[in-house]
């Protein structure tokens, strides 16, 4: 949450900062601002989107600056609460991502010393602390100030007349982009991909000093070797490429994502695959949001194909529990690799003697540096706040890990591997039928409440379908295991409450038909997702979304793509800001 950018080099900083900020609006977009050393620190900020603010800015010629796009935590969206924040003299400017938990105490203490505050934010105490400790050395002042701060932070700091940025982090992401005669800072590599694909990651507790020609990192005063990573994405992948929204582009990229993931993992032999699932006892999966739903599918897949027991925990809830873990094998599923609750859970598992495998999309992210081992999803950059292709990529990781480790039924293994290879074309068939889904979305957009139901491996698909619809269309939607809907939610059924039923030709099929009949008896319209030529479902449903046949264990991928399209076109019909839904941010980096 919140996007930080910074630039120091030989070019004018302002256009670079604005370009980088636009790339980070998925992290927060209720206000934004920049600070440029233009013969003195000049700050422009407002409760606007980046493009709107850019139209009102004068042209600044300074060659060093910082910027920020905000997702509000302390204080509502407003001009005074927007970043950057400055000290009393206006010589020190700071942008910040994270939460300072002791800011009230610090603010009272600083106010007694004569410091004047203008915002409601926790961030504003940071430049005032730096001002308190500044004695000619900016990095020393930042280091001393941070010893007084409790909570999480990623910060970039400027001081007038000093051709350098000072950066630091704790429990919030921050990455340095390495250029030739210029360097960058951002919350996410996507911000500076137009300029460089070389990145350096800062660890918790470290402080970096960045000039146009040099990056120095220190940990507790000791110099740390700077390690570069090459970013595997390119700037073109982070563009809309002719699509109206990133969400639609990313939905349509899923056949490619599946092919890329398969190409990556088909090269791994049984002997070289050291993520061994059997023989470890129960497996733990930790995740939040869409990644949690992917983990739930993973649970069904591991238990069905390998008879390995799996427990799935919402990371934020797991962090409140007190039982002893022991030597657990845990999968931490996080698209960004920076999800605060998941990172905290990973640290706990490792601290109690467990082994952690990160499933993430971002090379060099914090999760990869905490984990014992990392499995990359290879989905490429995902810009839309609503996750689509990264969910599919996470499922592909779980499918590959499970199918590749089947030892007894080799015919079953061969059949599923063949089905995996056919998935890109099957997903493309769903995408080719989006005109039908678009028509159904027009119907769905008229309602205020919707239920999604599924059974077995498609129960998590119902949860994910409901999440997508509520995220982008603002329709209240709930996902339920079909057998549970009669334990309470039936009270809400009726002609104004449609139900979307995800039906699979597995051992849950007859039970799903029974559930649909019970729902129809309560007058609720039913939109069914089912294989083509399923006449039993066709006779029951009011509207039908047909999908191609796949092995039932793989059906979540096919079914989810159809629900992603349904959510997208429903939001489009309602005129919602699809890529930037209100109150949400892509990477949840605060607890």
Q: Which domains does the chain carry?
A: 3-231 (3.60.20.10), 239-422 (3.40.50.10490), 433-579 (3.40.50.10490)
Given a cut of 70, is residue 575 above it in pLDDT?
Answer: yes
Query: What pLDDT shows up at residue 23?
Result: 84
Q: HEC profile for 413-473?
A: HHHHHHHHHHHHHHHHHHHHCHHHHHHHHHHHCCCCEEEEEECHHHHHHHHHHHHHHHHHH
**Residue range 332-388, pLDDT digits in tens:** 999 989 888 999 999 999 988 999 999 999 888 889 999 999 999 989 888 888 999
434-444 and 410-432 are packed helices; what angle lies between their axes, rounded to 10 degrees? 70
pLDDT of residue 70: 84
Host H or E run for residue 140: helix 138-146
Taking the C-alpha atoms of residue 481 and residue 314, their distance in angstroms, rounded to an integer, is: 18
Residue 112: pLDDT over 80: yes
In this prediction, residue 585 carries a pLDDT of: 61
**Cβ(591)–Cβ(340) below 8 Å:** yes
Report pLDDT for 269: 44
Say how far apart CA 255 and CA 392 lie, in whole Å: 10
Question: Do residues 49 and 25 lie in contact, with contact meaning Cβ atoms separated by under 8 Å?
Answer: yes
- pLDDT tens digits for 401-424? 999 999 889 999 999 999 999 999
Task: Name the phi and psi angles at 327, rounded to 5.
Answer: -85, 70
Cα radius of gyration rounded to whole Å, the chain: 25
| pLDDT greater than 60 at residue 580 | yes
Q: In what order do the strands lie in the sheet with 3-8?
A: 41-46, 31-37, 64-70, 3-8, 183-186, 175-178, 198-201, 229-230
- pLDDT-derived band at 587 (thresholds 50, 70, 90) equals low
Task: Indicate which residues carry an active-site annotation.
Answer: 2, 586
Copy the structure tokens of residue 45: 């900020």
* Eight-class DSSP state of 124: T
Structure-token pair, residue 190: 């996507």
Instruction: Check whether the bond before 84 is cis (ω within 30° of 0).
Output: yes
Query: What is this structure's pTM?
Result: 0.78
Predicted pLDDT at 173: 85
More confident site: 76 or 146: 146
Between residues 245 and 327, the one the model is more confident about = 245
For 413, phi then psi, to 5°, come to -60, -50
pLDDT above 80 for 146: yes
Higher-pLDDT residue of 71 and 293 is: 293
Please give the C-alpha separations between residue 142 and each of 34, 42, 373, in angstroms, as whole numbers: 20, 20, 34
Sign, CA torsion 14/17/20/25: negative
In the DSSP assignment, the letter for residue 82 is: S
């Amino acid at each position: 949450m919140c996007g930080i950018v910074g630039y120091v080099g030989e070019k004018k900083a302002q256009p670079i900062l604005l370009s980088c900020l636009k790339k980070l609006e998925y992290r927060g977009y209720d206000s934004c601002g920049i600070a440029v050393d233009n013969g003195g620190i000049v700050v422009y900020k407002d409760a606007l989107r980046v493009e709107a603010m850019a139209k009102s800015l004068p042209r600044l010629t300074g060659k060093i600056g910082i910027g920020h796009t905000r997702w509000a935590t302390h204080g509502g969206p407003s001009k005074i609460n927007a970043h950057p924040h400055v000290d009393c003299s206006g010589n020190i400017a700071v942008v910040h991502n994270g939460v300072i938990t002791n800011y009230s105490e610090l603010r009272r203490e600083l106010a007694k010393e004569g410091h004047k505050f203008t915002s409601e934010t926790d961030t504003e105490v940071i430049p005032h602390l730096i001002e308190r400790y500044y004695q000619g050395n900016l990095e020393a002042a930042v280091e001393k100030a941070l010893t007084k701060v409790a909570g999480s932070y990623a910060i970039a700091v400027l001081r007038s007349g000093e051709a350098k940025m000072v950066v630091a982090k704790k429990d919030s992401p921050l990455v340095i982009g390495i250029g030739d005669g210029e360097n960058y800072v951002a919350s996410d590599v996507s911000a500076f991909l137009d300029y460089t694909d070389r990145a350096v990651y800062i660890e918790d507790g470290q402080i970096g000093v960045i000039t146009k020609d040099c990056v120095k990192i220190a940990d507790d005063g000791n110099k740390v070797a700077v390690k570069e990573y090459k970013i595997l994405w390119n700037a073109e992948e982070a563009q809309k490429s002719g699509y109206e929204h990133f969400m639609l582009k990313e939905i349509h990229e899923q056949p490619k994502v599946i092919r890329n993931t398969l190409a990556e993992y088909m090269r791994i032999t049984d002997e070289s695959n050291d993520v061994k699932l059997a023989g470890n006892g129960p497996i733990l999966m930790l995740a939040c949001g869409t990644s949690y739903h992917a983990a739930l599918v993973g649970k069904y897949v591991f238990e069905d194909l390998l008879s390995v027991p799996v427990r799935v925990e919402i990371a934020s809830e797991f962090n409140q529990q007190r039982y002893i873990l022991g030597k657990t094998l845990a999968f931490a599923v996080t698209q960004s690799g920076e999800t605060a609750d998941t990172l905290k859970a990973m640290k706990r598992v490792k601290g109690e003697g467990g082994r952690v495998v990160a499933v993430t999309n971002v090379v060099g992210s914090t999760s990869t540096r905490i984990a014992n081992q990392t499995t990359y999803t290879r989905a490429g950059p995902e810009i839309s706040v609503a996750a689509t292709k990264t969910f599919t990529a996470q499922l592909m990781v779980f499918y590959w890990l499970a199918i590749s480790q089947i030892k007894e039924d080799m015919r079953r293994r061969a059949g599923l591997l063949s089905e995996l290879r056919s998935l890109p074309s099957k997903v493309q068939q769903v995408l080719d039928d989006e005109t039908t889904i678009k028509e159904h979305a027009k119907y769905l957009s008229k309602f205020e409440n919707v239920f999604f139901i599924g059974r077995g491996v498609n129960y998590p698909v119902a949860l994910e379908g409901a999440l997508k619809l509520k995220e982008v269309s603002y329709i209240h939607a709930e996902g339920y295991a079909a057998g549970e809907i009669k334990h309470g939610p039936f009270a809400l059924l009726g002609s104004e409450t449609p139900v979307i039923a995800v039906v699979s030709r597995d051992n849950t099929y007859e039970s799903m038909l029974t559930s649909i009949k019970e729902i129809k008896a309560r007058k609720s319209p039913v939109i069914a997702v089912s294989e083509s030529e399923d006449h039993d479902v066709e006779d029951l449903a009011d509207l039908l979304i047909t999908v191609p046949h796949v092995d039932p264990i793989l059906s979540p991928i096919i079914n989810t793509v159809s629900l992603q399209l349904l959510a997208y076109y429903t939001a489009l019909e309602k005129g919602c800001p699809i890529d930037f839904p209100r109150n949400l941010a892509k990477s949840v980096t605060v607890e």
